[in-house]
A and B are shown apart, each in its own frame.
Chain A
Amino acid sequence: METRYLGRKGLVTELLRALPTLPPEQRPRFGQLLNTVKAQLQQQVEQRRLELGQREREERLRAERVDITLPPRPLRVGLKHPLTQTMERVRAALIGLGFEFVDSPELDDYRYNFAALNYPDDHPAMDEQMSFYISDTRLLRTQTTSVQGRVMEKRKPPFRIAVIGRCFRNETVDATHHHTFHQVDAFIVDKGISMADLKGVLAAFARQMFGEDVQVRFRPDFFPFVEPGVDYAIYWQGGWLELGGAGLIHPNILRAHSIDPEQWTGFAFGLGIERIPMIQYQIDDLRLFLENDLRFLQRYGA
């Protein structure tokens, strides 16, 4: 149609071209008429073209349609281990409370792991912490508390120190015990530190980890490096959950590092890292953390 009427040899074009052959008085009228016709035709052609184009596009898009219910294309997503995430949360909470994290070796001295922590030689308290010995004097630390002596040797109070990491105990592995696990330990030495400060800091820490409505409870317990010594539990979702041990740093330890217990007192607390995700996600088997089944990691990693 376009070619037939409007093409280079189309009817309208031909007529326009023939315009000069008309008598001059008729030219304007015919010219005007032809141009109107041409414009109308052009408009209709354009209209049609748009319509055809539209239909073509629609058909193409129809043909390109995919089954949107097919599964997604998997992307490779990296994740941090649930223990790493937990340790990061613990660090953030304690850093917020003014604790300075330090590093301490996993392969430690008997001295720091036991002797400097006021364990009498060969005491039944060590039964609960059967150790992996490397030599007569070296062992894999059984508790991150081993950092206390190292810090007190080098620093003068006041200080607020924390350490987080791997510990080892020579015991049989089951759903709630492992020879390899992780702990965090935090301690303060300052003027006038009391059990009330311990309770306050633990409560602030627990609230950051578990939510605002958490309460903290003390129960007497025995650890050679604290006096008084307590077990602490938090009230969470309707029940009391034991988290770890704590207490006021034993004056023998302060004195052994030339810190005058009359001037300075301190508290210490520790807890198992694994315990936190186990509580949060109701994970019932401690072994899962070191087994590293990808299905487990992909569920709890982030």
Chain B
Amino acid sequence: MRVPIEWLKEYVPVQAEPEELAHRLTMAGLEVEAIEHDEGEPVLNVKVTPNRGDCLSMVGVAREVAALYGLPLHHPMPSARSTEPGDAVRYATVEIIDDDLCPRYAARVVRQVHIAPSPDWMQKRLIAAGMRPINNVVDVTNYVMLELGQPLHAFDLDLLPNRHIVVRRAKPGEKIVTLDGVERALQPEMLMICDATHPVAVAGVMGGAETEVTPNTRNVLLESAHFNPTSIRRTARRLQLSTEASYRFERVVDPGGVVCALDRACELLEQIGAGEPVPGVVDVYPRPARERVVTLRPDRCNLLLGMDLDTHTMTDCLRRLQLNAELRDGVIHVTVPTFRPDLNIEEDLAEEVGRVYGYENIPERLPFGHTHRGSDSPDTRLIRPLQEAFVRAGLIEVHTHTLRAPGPLDDPTRPLVRVRNAASEELSSLRNSLIPSLMDVVVHNLARRQTEIFLFEVGKVFTVLNGDYDERLKAGFAVTGSVFPPGWDARYPAADFFTAKGIVHILLETVGIEEAQYVSASDPRFHPGRSAKVLVGEREVGVFGELHPHILEQLDITRRTVLAGEFDVYTLWSLATQRVRYVPLPKYPAVLRDLAVVAAEEVPYQQVEQTARQAGGTLLESVRLFDVYRGERIPEGTRSLALSLTFRSPERTLTDEEVDGIVQQIVQALEGIGARLRA
């Protein structure tokens, strides 16, 4: 809200410089976001928190200023206060049907209206406060709204049939053309100001075009009412129409100030010669709001604030805010005026005391009492080792978007969770896999001529599972580039399936999974011959491999291999085995034997190794593949696998004869699966 300081000073004699005033208000909770200037005059741009609707006016801000500086408040109380209907009822009647949404509706009538521009001083203030002058009548309603916070509306009384106002919910099918010229379809829960037959204004939001004040207007009905904040908020939102009036009504306007604002408007209209107010007010207020009494125990106040204030200081702070505070039987009783609906409980009063006294006076203290042991969350304990494993593997961590447009890299086996009110397709679903958003990052960086892209992320993915939403942690990576970063003198082969497998291996090792099976994946996102799902026992822990060329094409990635993989964090850790245990270093020397066998391409290496291990028994310490050869002297459709075998006994030195015997057994076993010793 824009608060011209010149205007503010009409209600409180503050002498402080604008900067000092802005700081003081900000520190008391009315944040001054900027000091602007209107024709050289300083204007405070104040951000009012949603609980302080009472500060959405000059008088409201002046009240805070008066409290902070200990100054008197000059309320622009109209000299003549209407209490009786007087003559007004002869000119207009009011009926509230839905008083749940409109607890109070008051009207006054102004006759012999002469529509003209408002005086310069009023126009200047309106402009400084950010409003556009229209004519004397409308300007007065806006002026009073800015001054007191009570929105007013002026109807052309002669255009209201029967001069009768009915406040009710809209009927099905009803429509209204609002002041902005837009025809709006109404819904039954919207509160309307109606004449005898149809709506003439959207209550608390905007007037209707039909009864608008025009240069021909001779008689005016001024409306001042109190509406249910939630109802106004919903209507404004439905109609996508937020106005100065609706903004204030949503934040609660003082029900006690309804008639005062009318009187003030009439006084101003008369003063500027815009018309002659009819004495009297039509005020329908079936259940007047009562002043509440809220108590504050001084001990409790000090406990909450962590201060040591005496009761005199407390009551003084409260009284400065125009609150009636009295100490009775050791307890401060505060009569809360209707303009402060935010003060309901003891804590609210403690806050007012602290705020006025100054939060800078609160000391720093550390809580004492129970000893608490801090700790990481269970998920963090699963995530961190995986992050560190990827970092060891040379990958760079990314944090990618959860919200995405559905795409070809989504996991086809996991239904997407959709956002119901997404502003755009880009934010319309929750990722069901890390791979799509990791690939967004790959594409982003390729477009910026980065060629070595080794990324990982550990994060949440979502799906629908058994009729409910499922949120789980995944660890994923995406990799493209050389096996090692290219330098000025050396080039390395492109990272491929086996590079990815190396990353997977580090991951499994970190968790403590020693035995994993790699079987062909049938995931359409991957190259069918260069991808694997990883099984531990019967459980699938993840999938990885080369991304399908089709998909790379769709991402405009050409002449490049991209590897990606994704692992389920909870499943991985559930299969972890005790990893760290003491194994003595060997005491006896190893015997090494190399062995090259030729086998059909279809025989997987894993089968060869397992066969060798089984045949080798406990003395075969390790099997290491050191070469795969195809070509000369090897028949088409076969390949040569060169194995390095290490034999060792924990108890003695093995003899050559012993080892030769075992090798012979291994060779025989390998022949059994069609792998012959290479000639």
Question: Which A residues form the contact surface with B (CB < 8 A)?
Answer: 70-81, 83-84, 91, 94-103, 105-107, 120-125, 127, 132-135, 138, 140, 158-160, 163-164, 166, 168, 170, 179-180, 188, 190-201, 203-204, 216-222, 227-230, 248, 250-251, 265, 289-295, 297-298, 301
Tell me which of B107-115, B148-156, B395-403 binds A.
Answer: B395-403
User: Is there an interface contact between B399 and A83, defined as CB atoms closer than 8 Å?
Assistant: yes
User: Is there an interface contact between B397 and A180, defined as CB atoms closer than 8 Å?
Assistant: no
Q: In chain A, what residue has the closest Cβ to B421?
A: A133
Q: In chain B, what residue has the closest Cβ to A126?
A: B50
A279 CB, nearest partner CB in chain B, Å: 19
Contacts of B439-464 to chain A: CB distance below 8 A: 441, 444-445, 448, 450, 452-455, 459-460, 462
Q: In chain A, what residue has the closest Cβ to B390?
A: A78
B471 CB, nearest partner CB in chain A, Å: 5
How large, as a class, is the contact surface on chain B? 35 or more
Considering the chains assembled together, what is the distance between the CA atoms of A160 and B370 in angstroms? 10
B371 CB, nearest partner CB in chain A, Å: 7
Q: In chain A, what residue has the closest Cβ to B373?
A: A98
Q: A179-B427, A220-B29 are in contact. Are A158 and B471 (CB under 8 A)?
A: no
- Interface check B243, CB cutoff 8 A: no
Sample 21 A-B pairs with CB under 8 A, ordered by A number.
A74-B487, A76-B485, A96-B374, A132-B419, A133-B420, A140-B430, A168-B402, A180-B401, A190-B369, A196-B307, A196-B364, A196-B365, A197-B365, A200-B364, A218-B362, A220-B359, A222-B50, A227-B345, A248-B304, A292-B445, A295-B450
User: Is there an interface contact between A292 and B400, defined as CB atoms closer than 8 Å?
Assistant: yes
Q: Apart from A192-B303, A194-B305, A229-B351, list 18 A-B contacts with CB within 8 A.
A: A76-B452, A76-B484, A107-B471, A123-B50, A133-B419, A134-B430, A159-B372, A168-B402, A170-B423, A195-B354, A197-B367, A203-B364, A220-B28, A227-B348, A250-B347, A251-B345, A292-B398, A295-B448
B444 CB, nearest partner CB in chain A, Å: 7
Q: Which residues on the A side are within 8 Å of B423 (C-beta)?
A: 170
User: Is there an interface contact between A76 and B454, defined as CB atoms closer than 8 Å?
Assistant: yes
User: Is there an interface contact between B462 and A107, defined as CB atoms closer than 8 Å?
Assistant: yes
B467 CB, nearest partner CB in chain A, Å: 12
Tell me which of B4-12, B376-384, B596-604 binds A.
Answer: B376-384
Considering the chains assembled together, what is the distance between the CA atoms of A80 and B390 in angstroms? 9
A232 CB, nearest partner CB in chain B, Å: 9
Considering the chains assembled together, what is the distance between the CA atoms of A291 and B437 in angstroms? 10
- Interface check B646, CB cutoff 8 A: no
User: Is there an interface contact between B396 and A301, defined as CB atoms closer than 8 Å?
Assistant: yes
User: Is there an interface contact between B487 and A100, defined as CB atoms closer than 8 Å?
Assistant: no
The 4 closest A-B pairs by CB, nearest first: A196-B306, A220-B29, A194-B306, A95-B374
Considering the chains assembled together, what is the distance between the CA atoms of A201 and B366 in angstroms? 6
* Selected contact of A218 from candidates B233, B359, B371, B430, CB within 8 Å: B359
User: Is there an interface contact between B374 and A79, defined as CB atoms closer than 8 Å?
Assistant: no
B417 CB, nearest partner CB in chain A, Å: 6
Q: Which residues on the A side are within 8 Å of B26 (C-beta)?
A: 219
Q: A79-B397, A132-B427, A134-B469 are in contact. Are A220 and B355 (CB under 8 A)?
A: yes
Considering the chains assembled together, what is the distance between the CA atoms of A80 and B391 in angstroms? 7
B381 CB, nearest partner CB in chain A, Å: 10
Q: A76-B485, A195-B306 are in contact. Are A294 and B387 (CB under 8 A)?
A: no
User: Is there an interface contact between B488 and A70, defined as CB atoms closer than 8 Å?
Assistant: yes
Q: Which residues on the A side are within 8 Å of B491 (C-beta)?
A: none
- Interface check B166, CB cutoff 8 A: no
- Interface check B51, CB cutoff 8 A: yes
Considering the chains assembled together, what is the distance between the CA atoms of A103 and B450 in angstroms? 36
Q: Which residues on the A side are within 8 Å of B363 (C-beta)?
A: 196, 199-200
Considering the chains assembled together, what is the distance between the CA atoms of A187 and B450 in angstroms? 43
- Interface check B393, CB cutoff 8 A: yes
User: Is there an interface contact between A294 and B354, defined as CB atoms closer than 8 Å?
Assistant: no
A135 CB, nearest partner CB in chain B, Å: 7
Q: Which residues on the A side are within 8 Å of B50 (C-beta)?
A: 123-125, 127, 222
